[in-house]
Amino acid sequence: MIFSYLDVRDKGRVAQVCAAWRDASYHKSVWRGVEAKLHLRRANPSLFPSLQARGIRRVQILSLRRSLSYVIQGMPNIESLNLSGCYNLTDNGLGHAFVQEIPSLRVLNLSLCKQITDSSLGRIAQYLKNLEVLELGGCSNITNTGLLLIAWGLHRLKSLNLRSCRHVSDVGIGHLAGMTRSAAEGCLSLEYLTLQDCQKLTDLSLKHTSKGLTKLKVLNLSFCGGISDAGMIHLSHMGSLWSLNLRSCDNISDTGIMHLAMGTLRLQGLDVSFCDKIGDQSLAYIAQGLYQLKSLSLCSCHISDDGINRMVRQMHELRTLNIGQCVRITDKGLELIADHLTQLTGIDLYGCTKITKRGLERITQLPCLKVLNLGLWQMTESHTEKVR
């Protein structure tokens, strides 16, 4: 039906044209996949019946002035509930909403709901057994006990975001990985795990992860200052892992990259930006053992044209290269990239102050290039037009 191609606002408008269009616009196929964005401020008896009539099962609450139970009771078949940024949501409010099993709910986003504690995770683990995605980024009151509850009840979980959960430590990751089987089976089906800025984590967490979370595809460890090169040994044989983010992990050096390259990884994406101990030797290791990468981010690393020369001839799959703020890269490095990385679709050169118009012209001749970030690079007006 042609109405399905309209955006949400226009779908609402066509329903006001005439009765026939209204009936057509309420067909469930028109609203398939749509997420309703709601301000819950006052009672509206027709709201949830209207959403259900259109088959809408995904809801984002933009502001919560009413009880959350109002939503759950109104949409018993809800599949996705986004409460991100609802700062006034408490354990008490969530507890009153989740009082029985909700088998349809697959996605729950509680990011930045800062009053939520382990108590709420107990409710979630008890009543949302089919949950596949749980976002807890910025929920700074969550502890290892909460992760134990998740590991006990959410066996179908595929994606978990624990960004900036500052109390989470190696013990909690052990719970998720099934290291405490006497208390909890673990979330062994996890495929996406974000541990960004979890400052208490050490290499022991990586050991737990490699042993128990064998289906993991994406692992974000950015800003985890407690992990080191030794932890990379544990990750180096995770055959299912295809994306690893080590951005701003200050203790990762060339040695850590060597460990990754010597394993059995089939990584497609690697980010070691702002790891100031990463240098040209890492690029040699990447060329030897991680040559299948499609995306590589090295922003602000201590790499030079020599490192680029040691890497480019083996990286035939590379599509995205981010080397912004790598101030030792010159036109020679860009010429090497242009000669050998012919499949590149995107490159970041922000803050590469030693490149000139000559090197940039070579880069712009890459046949597949779609994205070029220059940032601080100074260009003449005529050259800007040429790049466009």
Q: What is the pLDDT of residues 307-341, one digit of tens each?
A: 999 999 999 999 999 999 999 999 999 999 999 99
Instruction: Give CA–CA dist 351/354, Å, rounded.
Output: 9
**Strands (E) located in the chain:** 35-40, 58-64, 80-82, 107-109, 133-135, 159-161, 192-194, 218-220, 243-245, 269-271, 295-297, 320-322, 346-348, 371-373
DSSP SS3 for 132 = coil
Q: Which position has the higher pLDDT, 14 or 176?
A: 176
pLDDT over threshold 50, residue 386: no
pLDDT of residue 302: 97
Model confidence at 225, pLDDT cuts 50, 70, 90, reads very high
pLDDT over threshold 80, residue 24: no
DSSP lists the bridge partners of residue 169 as 200
Instruction: Give CA–CA dist 190/168, Å, rounded.
Output: 17
The Cα diameter of the chain in Å comes to: 70
pLDDT of residue 202: 98
Q: Residue 215, Cα to own-chain centre: how many angstroms?
A: 16
pLDDT in tens, 230-288: 999 999 999 999 999 999 999 999 999 999 999 999 999 999 999 999 999 999 999 99
DSSP SS3 for 304 = coil
Q: Which position has the higher pLDDT, 43 or 119?
A: 119
Instruction: Give CA–CA dist 74/43, Å, rounded.
Output: 12
Tell me which residue of 144, 148, 208 sits closest to 183, measured CA to CA.
Answer: 148
- CA count, 13 A, side-chain hemisphere, 251: 14
Rounded to two decimals, the pTM is 0.90
SS in 3 state form for 156-187? CCCEEECCCCCCCEHHHHHHHCCCCCCCCCCC
Instruction: Give CA–CA dist 296/195, Å, rounded.
Output: 20
Number of Cβ within a 10 Å radius of residue 166: 15
Structure tokens at 109: 């986003």
Instruction: Give CA–CA dist 229/208, Å, rounded.
Output: 16
